[in-house]
Structure 1
Amino acid sequence: MPPASALAARGSAQAEITGRVISDEGPVVTRDPFDLNRISPAALLSRWHDVDRLDVYRPYLASSEATAGLADISSPAPEERSSVNWLNIFYAIEWAIFAGFAFYLWYRLAKDAWEREVEEFDDRADASAAS
């Protein structure tokens, strides 16, 4: 009996599993559409058909040891990425530039309005002096 059938024949039961939680790795396009070389719940859902009341979560649990009837697979820890998120740093710089431009625009509009008021005041003063 294949391992999946053996597990299905046992029915539902509680089990204690020791492992680590891994985030979804995303599907990878390959020449063979049935080749799964990464764990991707999205790719699995596109193959399963009776999923009306199925709850699927993107992270999954990689068990340290296979349960009875299954073979161990290689599940190395994911590669450590840089602790600096450069995209967020560039966004922060971008928003600082936007804020500087907004402040400059406000300053120019306020200065132009003030100069216009001073000019109108001078024109009224000249008109009253002339009459």
Structure 2
Amino acid sequence: MDLRPATDQRDAGEHGDNTADGVVPAGRADRARAGDGGAPRWRERVTGGRSDFLRAAVTPRLIGLFVLLLAAAIVCVRLGAWQLDRAAIRGAAEAEQGHAERLAADPVPLEDVLRAQTSFTAEELGRSIEVTGTFVPDQQVLVPDRAVEGQDADLVVTALRLTQGPDAGAMLPVLRGWVPAEAITTDGGTAAPADAATAAILEVPVGERTVTGHLGGSEAAVAADYPDGMVGAISSAELANLWGGPSFSGYLVEFTQAPDGTRTASDGAGLPHAPPPGMAVDTGLNIQNLAYAVEWVVFGGFALFLWWRMVRDEVTYRREEAELA
């Protein structure tokens, strides 16, 4: 027999102390009713599968965070692209400055920069060098279809046989200068000066001489029929087959340097010098700006990763709460 007062018995019934008759405690009943201020509705939908991640991701709070972090990621990617552009611009500017410095530098011996039968690299392009040898009178060709100073021109390339240094005896093609295209005639299938003045400036210098100039990289040979005395490109390999080797993998763009160090526009015979070789097309990227670009992209990826971590943590929390419910 229950000896408690009737009031206590009623209180016990009201507060759910007696569960023998299947009466659910009031607190649990409230939590079990979704939307009545008890347990959230999502507890009923926790399955332990992938759908839990989708339900968690589409909650208003995580959607708002996704929009915010996505905007941050887009800003980071845009900043990375801007830094990449800056890397290209600064890389090109540095390459241009370096090329100009190589062109303006005092000549150094050829063997200090390039040796016969070795590969030509971007580091040698435009280097100012000096070399001693003799021009071979019957080893001179014209390269047509070029433009110099806004007019059609034929380049004048002559073989220089080195007489000093470790590569004595090797052949180095020398771009001595250029003449207007109309100054050359190809009547009879042979390239020849159109007048006596052109013939005079095309005469090959005789005797040993020290030649100064800029190094240029060998051009690709052109497979086409040209008149005798003409070739389609300044190709070291083609000229070596024509004149004999050993040879160099580049050629020399001659310039005339006065005793005071100034450089003249033509040689002593009046042959105009060709422009120095241009810098390489691939100028590279500025390393510092490239690193900044990579950092911004990483920051953008981290923003999205942070949102995914929030979704994963939310799913973990929900599953733990569902097990305790």
Normalization by structure 1: what TM-score? 0.48
Please identify the structure whose Cα radius of gyration is greater. 2
Question: Whose strand proportion is higher, 1 or 2?
Answer: 2
TM norm structure 2: 0.25
Instruction: From the two aligned structures, give the one with the greater helix fraction.
Output: 1
